[in-house]
Amino acid sequence: MITFEGVTKRYPDGTVAVDDLSLQAPTGAITVFVGPSGCGKTTSLRMINRMIDATSGRILLDDQDVRAIDPPTLRRGIGYVIQQAGLFPHRKIVDNVATVPYLLGWDKRKARARAMELLELVGLDSRLAGRYPFQLSGGQQQRVGVARALAADPPVLLMDEPFSAVDPIVRASLQEELLHLQSELHKTIVFVTHDIDEAIKLGDTVAVLRVGGHLAQMAGPATLLSEPADDFVREFLGKDRGIRRLSFVPAKGVRLGSAPADLVVDDDTRPLGWRSNGGLLPYGIFDPERDSLRAALDAALLSPNGTAIAVDGDGHVIGVATRDALDEVLRRHATGPDEQARESDGEVPVTDPRRAES
């Protein structure tokens, strides 16, 4: 658990970057700091590992004031990932990853073995280990950055806009990968971004900061979308809040009907399309066990007849959801706070409906 207690950062010229910030980043969850530039999100993050020291207030790391720990020692126990990866250009990838283990005095063989393990964990080919950073793509470098941060298995990970310098496709896959890693590692992660969609996708809790370093709202992503605290948060969240919130509603509650006769399936009951005069029409599928209501609705919109096909994990048809069936669920979630979505806030969901939507 990381606790901010009335933390303020004031620079000598009088600028206040962070103003009396109090919040908690729970253990084992992803807390996202999001906000426009100048809102103090990066400053707040960097005060945790003392890259910047707070002017007043306290930051506690599991009840220990970070100011009581010598900065290099503190930082060796906290993973740190920055935007441009910041890999050491003169060191091979494997040695970059082993940076902190070397600093902690591990012997070289053990450190390198650990580095190889991590390269695999973040999805990098072991052949890249002997290369130098300039030989890797931006996305690969960023993965190395994450591997390096995890090398000494720190309980806490600080990520400062780690994915904002890569293209959208790579970014999406890095985000997926992070959620996947987190589902295994359960680190306490503080993640800074200016991208609200990234915040909503990754955060178990999202702290929206406004310019001047004030906390505007802190809530789970679904609550944030359904109940923005004020106009600033509402505006910052942007359009389509209603639709986006459906990403947090599991599709499990949708009433399934049996597959109608005009749904064509192959021998293995995988869908092929909707029968029509002289051909097959397109269709949309969703997996009620894993997908969100948003994915189910999307599947319905992809079919000309408005019916979404429900499939199991292997792609076999298990039923269909008509528009009426979807409407029933939508009505339940259309207004007011949503209990189901609430429950998943602030915890790590076992099956994460967000993962299906990227």
Partner 1 sequence: MNWLIDFFGNAANWSGSDGIPTRILEHLEFSAAAFLIAAVIAAPLGLLIGHTGRGAFIVVVSANAARALPTLGLLVLVVLLIGVGTVLPVLIPLVVLAVPPILVNTYEGVRGVDADLRDAAYGMGLRGRQVLFKVLTPSALPLILLGLRLSAIQVVSTASVAAFVGLGGLGRFIIDGLATKTYSDVIGGAVLIALLALAVQLGFTLLNRVVVSPGVRQVR
Exposed (0-12), middle (13-18) or buried (19+): which is 7, by Cβ within 10 Å?
Answer: buried
Amino acid at the residue 121 = L
Complex with partner 1: residue 11 or 88, whichever CB lies closer: 88
Q: Which helix (H) or strand (E) holds 2?
A: strand 2-10
Question: Distance between CA 114 and CA 98 in Å, rounded?
Answer: 7
Nearer of residues 41 and 92 to partner 1, judged by Cβ:
92
In the complex, the smallest distance separating the C-beta of residue 291 from partner 1, rounded to whole angstroms, is 38
Residue with tokens 């010229």: 13
User: Dihedral, CA atoms, 198, 201, 205, 209, nearest 10 degrees?
Assistant: 20
Collapsing DSSP to helix, strand or coil, 57 comes out as strand
CB of 88 to partner 1, least distance (A): 6
Q: Compute the Cα dihedral for 206, 207, 211, 215 and give only its sign.
A: positive
Q: Smallest distance, Å, CB 151 to partner 1? A: 9
Binding residues (CB under 8 A) for partner 1: these are: 49, 51, 71-77, 80, 82-92, 99-100, 103, 132-135, 148
d(CA 199, CA 126): 31
Looking at the Cβ atoms of 163 and 274, the one nearer to partner 1 is: 163
Supply the minimum distance, in Å, between the C-beta of residue 337 and partner 1.
39
72: tokens are: 């290099």
Nearest-angstrom CA–CA distance, 217 and 227 = 10
Least separation in angstroms between residue 40's CB and partner 1 is 17
**CA 342 – CA 339 distance, rounded (Å):** 5
Which is closer to partner 1, CB of 133 or CB of 250? 133
Q: How far is the CB of 17 from partner 1 (least distance, A)?
A: 17
Tell me the CA distances in angstroms from 269 to 156, 274, 304, one per residue in order: 46, 14, 20
CA dist 143 and 174 (Å) reads: 8
**How near is the Cβ of 222 to partner 1 at its closest, in Å?**
33
CB closer to partner 1, 99 vs 303: 99
Q: Rg of the chain's alpha carbons, rounded to an integer?
A: 23
Owner of token pair 């939507």? 357
Q: Which is nearer to partner 1, 33 or 80 (CB)?
A: 80
Strand 64-65 to 308-311 pairing: unpaired
Pick the closer one to partner 1 by CB: 48 or 216.
Answer: 48
Cα→Cα distances 229→49, 53, 174, 194, 223, Å:
30, 30, 30, 18, 10
Q: What is the chain's length?
A: 358
Comparison of 49 and 223: residue with beta carbon closer to partner 1: 49
CB of 103 to partner 1, least distance (A): 6
* Minimum distance from residue 314 beta carbon to partner 1 (Å): 43
Give the nearer residue to partner 1 in terms of CB position, either 132 or 232: 132
End-to-end CA distance of the chain: 29
